[in-house]
Chain A
Amino acid sequence: MNRSGTIHAGGDLLSPGSAVRLNASFCRDCDRWEFPARTYCPTCDQEPTTGPLSPTAEVIGHSAVLHQPPGSLIDAPYPVALASFPEGVAVLGVVEDAEVGEVAIGDQVETVARLVGDSIEYAFRSRRSS
């Protein structure tokens, strides 16, 4: 179960490692996507529709978490990417199959399900290794 609502159709059938798509909202009037999905469009305040983002995104920024942050259920060190989806929204995520220093601007990543505690959340996986 994807308790955060970040995964499109994030029901009980999700399993860690499977490809998933992020759940976003889209305002037709503004031609604008928002992630996570919102109940209002931040540009026009109208009610958007919801739908999935594309399965892959391009890395436009990256860093890493080298020391265990309080509350994180992911073991540091781990790389993090800011990845831009074709819909025009850029999302932060842990790149679960890469080592620190291996992520580069221009890399393609896909969104996958990852077990975080007892919830299924999203992570990025480098397309080079898939």
Chain B
Amino acid sequence: MDDVVIAGVGIHPFGRFDTGYREIGAVAARGALADAGICLGDLDMVLVANVGAEMAKGQNVLELVGRPGVPVFNVEAACASSAGTLTMAAELIEAGVHDAILCLGVEKAPKGFIAGAGFEGWQIESGLGITPLYFALAAQELIETTDATIEDLADVSVKNHRHAVDNPDAMFRSEVTREQVLESRAVCPPLNLLMLCAPNEGAAAAVLVSRKFARERGLDATVRLRSVATVSRSADDWFVPAVSRQSARMTSLTARAATLAYERAGIGPDELDLVECQDTDAGSELWAYRDLGLCKPGEEAALLRSGATTIGGRIPVNPSGGLLSKGEPLGASGLGQVHEIVQQLRGRCGSRQVEGARVGAGHVLGAGHNASVVVMSRD
């Protein structure tokens, strides 16, 4: 992908707020437009990612921003909803159909376990309709089949919480110790509360434009979107909410999305300077190390222990603090990653800056079997 510039990004902090989703979304949308230096009337299209709000949610948010008169489409793919907007916007611009598209993700998720994750009624009533179970089984598999330990799971959370101390948009900005994580309330063994992200509220947005549009309008074309690949369930994947999988064959949604994204970008995982990944739980971050090609299978814990994935290391993962610290506003989380990566590539992240960052990747993974990987670079 050669022609897609991320000209501006905006964010509404992730947390808990008294305002509604419309106000939360409007803050991020206005922020992205102002950051890009364009107005709503310059857009060809608006794509809005959200999971839980009402009918015509994107249109309702925009009513607080302006009336562009262009198509506004709402996109839902669970925790990968944001990636849906990016995928469509980037492909429409790369194809020369449109020049300027606003991607907005917004969520005001209720507290507690994510309900309505696609489980059938009988699964919920039978006690099986609970998303952390799936992450617990994946974390257990990592512990059973590699040298990863429960302490490693805790240390992922410790790392990401430390990163978030310097992120004003994160929900949890206090450091935690390994002991605090291990002693936090058990949810689904081996996962404790501080190893799981909290669904919450927030919004993030990005303005995607063609290079020609950026040049003509004199916009900041520093950061380009080099590829985005989104995949859904194939025969041998297993994720929320499926009650079963093939015993022997199991494939990875994330690995498939990553392979496609790296191919399309002509950029390999060894060229990445930072990664924002879907740390729904601590084990998911370790799995992402493998599936994104940051390490060989079985070396996930070693990569973490080496300090490589901490800011200052070879390949910092979740320098924003990740979902474990920011919380997860489902529809906004992917664009939140884009916000972080763009600001990192621009060198604007202050004390959590990844020095010399030129290439970054974002990764989301959601219920209903959706995964996406996006690669961005600084020219």
* Contact surface of A with B, Cβ cutoff 8 Å: 3-4, 6, 32, 34-36, 42-43, 60-67, 69-74, 76, 78, 80, 82, 84-85, 88-94, 100-101, 105, 114, 116-117, 119, 121-123
Contacts and interface: CB of A to CB of B under 8 A. Distances in A.
Contacts of B243: 35-36, 91-92
Most chain A CB atoms below 10 A, which of B126, B187, B245: B126
B128 interface: yes
Interface in B116-156: 120-122, 124-130, 133, 136-137, 140-141, 144
B235 interface: yes
Contact of A92 (B120, B187, B190, B244): B244
Given A82-B137, A84-B247, A69 B188 contact: no
Contact of B137 (A63, A66, A88): A63
B144 A105 contact: yes
14 contacts: A60-B247, A61-B141, A65-B188, A70-B113, A70-B124, A71-B124, A72-B124, A73-B127, A78-B127, A82-B137, A92-B133, A114-B126, A116-B126, A121-B125
Nearest to A80: B133
A88 to B, nearest CB: 5
A60 B191 CA distance: 18
Contact of A43 (B189, B190, B235): B235
Nearest to B248: A88
Contact of B127 (A32, A65, A101, A105): A65
Nearest to A30: B235
A59 to B, nearest CB: 11
A65 B245 CA distance: 20
A61 B137 contact: yes
Contacts of A71: 115, 124-125, 129
B97 interface: no
B246 A65 contact: no
Contacts of A34: 244
A67 B187 contact: yes
B247 A93 contact: no
A65 to B, nearest CB: 6
Given A88-B247, A89-B245, A91-B244, A66 B186 contact: yes
Given A63-B137, A70-B112, A94-B126, 16 more contacts: A4-B121, A42-B235, A65-B188, A66-B188, A69-B130, A76-B127, A78-B127, A88-B246, A90-B244, A90-B245, A90-B246, A91-B243, A93-B126, A101-B189, A116-B122, A119-B122
A84 B330 CA distance: 32
Chain B interface category by residue count: 20 to 34
A63 B125 contact: no
Contacts of A70: 112-113, 115, 124
Interface string B246-265: 11100000000000000000
B195 to A, nearest CB: 13
A62 B64 CA distance: 48
Most chain A CB atoms below 10 A, which of B120, B121, B127, B248: B127
A84 B248 CA distance: 9
Contacts of B244: 34-36, 89-92
A71 B141 CA distance: 27
A65 B247 contact: no
A74 B126 contact: yes
B133 A65 contact: yes
Interface string B94-122: 00000000000000000011010000111
Contacts of B113: 69-70
Contacts of A101: 189
Contacts of B137: 61-63, 82
A80 B128 contact: yes
A36 B331 CA distance: 30
A61 B140 contact: yes
A49 to B, nearest CB: 18
Given A4-B122, A93-B128, A121-B122, A63 B140 contact: yes
B125 A72 contact: yes
Given A42-B235, A63-B136, A63-B140, A85 B125 contact: no
